[in-house]
Amino acid sequence: MAAAVCTEPESAITRVFHLLGKRWTGLILAALMSGPGHFAELRRAVPGISERMLSDRLTELASFGLVSRSVEEGPPLRVSYSLTDAGHALRPAMVELTRWADSHLPLSAGSCPEAFRE
């Protein structure tokens, strides 16, 4: 009987989890799946996140081309965030992860964002 061999994950999956595995990132993406949102709306949609962390995560997601930022002239001046095409392309993967969680993770681990239920 051959011994099981543990191999290093492929580069692509390592890059994915380096970004999406960060705390709050998935929840921010989930909040934006249903449409654009202003900063204050996103903060309310992601309970427990600080303004600084939300700002940092949105900046990072924008730098990876998953989120776009648009400034709405005022007064008052408002900033809106939305998913780019690349961000929307994550939806099927997020839906499948949600289905997996519903089947394999206890409910105490958190509830499924409504945007991923089909």
Tell me the pLDDT tens digit for each residue of 20-33. 999 999 999 999 99
Measured CA to CA, the distance from residue 80 to residue 32 in angstroms comes to 11
Query: How do residues 32-49 score in pLDDT, each as one tens digit?
Result: 999 999 999 999 999 999
pTM metric for this prediction: 0.80
Nearest to 86 by CA among 68, 116, 66: 66
Rounded to whole angstroms, the Cα distance separating 23 from 114 reads 19
